[in-house]
Amino acid sequence: MWKEVERICAVQEADGTLRGLRNSAILRVMSDGLLRISEVTELRISDLEDNTLRLRFSKTDPEGSGEHLYLCEDTRKIVTEWLQRSGLTEGYLFRRMTARGDNVYRDKQTGELSHLTDDGVRRIIKSCAARVGLTEKVSGHSLRIGTTVSLAKSGASLVDIQVAGRWKDPGMPAHYARAQFAEKGAIARFKDGKR
């Protein structure tokens, strides 16, 4: 999945628009942080800290204890470029764009900047994936699941993945990466000698 995310982001960044830059930043942040859509839409610029992103609350942390999530170097560069080019300095990290994609959208009546909705992020994910020919089974949860699979393929333990994705129970990450864990399971290791 990481390769697919990189391919999608490369296309978004290459189009030269502010919208493409924003879309790449969204996809990269969601992938690095194993974020749910409801989490990415609530991110604030003030949540960015050096190499990490502070997630103030989540589905599994409704009290708002908060978590710090690592952002990869390429992600940090794209987020920084998004903020510089958009001129955003406070408030929501990701905003709606004008129809042409060259400016952040301002409400015509209030003049206020609009942040993205959950449905807006879903549409972004699907349209970005479609642009590179990935149309089957793409959903708002694809980045979370895909990163889980990529981590398992790379050798991360179920506990590592559970912590990275902030799951209270190992059941969901185990389900998402079941094929990858089967390839490293007891039969593969002890009967087939794959250590």
Q: What is the pLDDT of residues 53-93, one digit of tens each?
A: 999 887 777 777 888 999 999 999 999 999 999 999 999 99
70 membership: H or E segment, kind and range: strand 67-70
What is the residue extent of each domain of the chain?
A: 2-135, 143-191
Retrieve residue 83's tokens. Answer: 């903020």
Distance CA 131, CA 157 (A): 33
Amino acid at 140: G
Protein fold of 2-135: hpI Integrase; Chain A (1.10.443)
Question: For residues 174, 179, 183 and 185, what is the CA-based torsion angle, rounded to 10 degrees?
Answer: 30
Q: Give residue 195's pLDDT.
A: 67
Exposed e or buried b for every residue in 149-184, given b needs 16+ CB within 10 A? bbbbeeebebeebbebbbbeeeebbbebbeebbeee
Q: Give residue 63's pLDDT.
A: 78
Which residues in the chain show pLDDT less than 50? none
| Residue 159, CA distances (Å) to 14, 63, 110, 169, 178 in order | 37, 23, 47, 10, 14
Are 36 and 58 contacting, i.e. CB atoms less than 8 angstroms apart?
A: yes
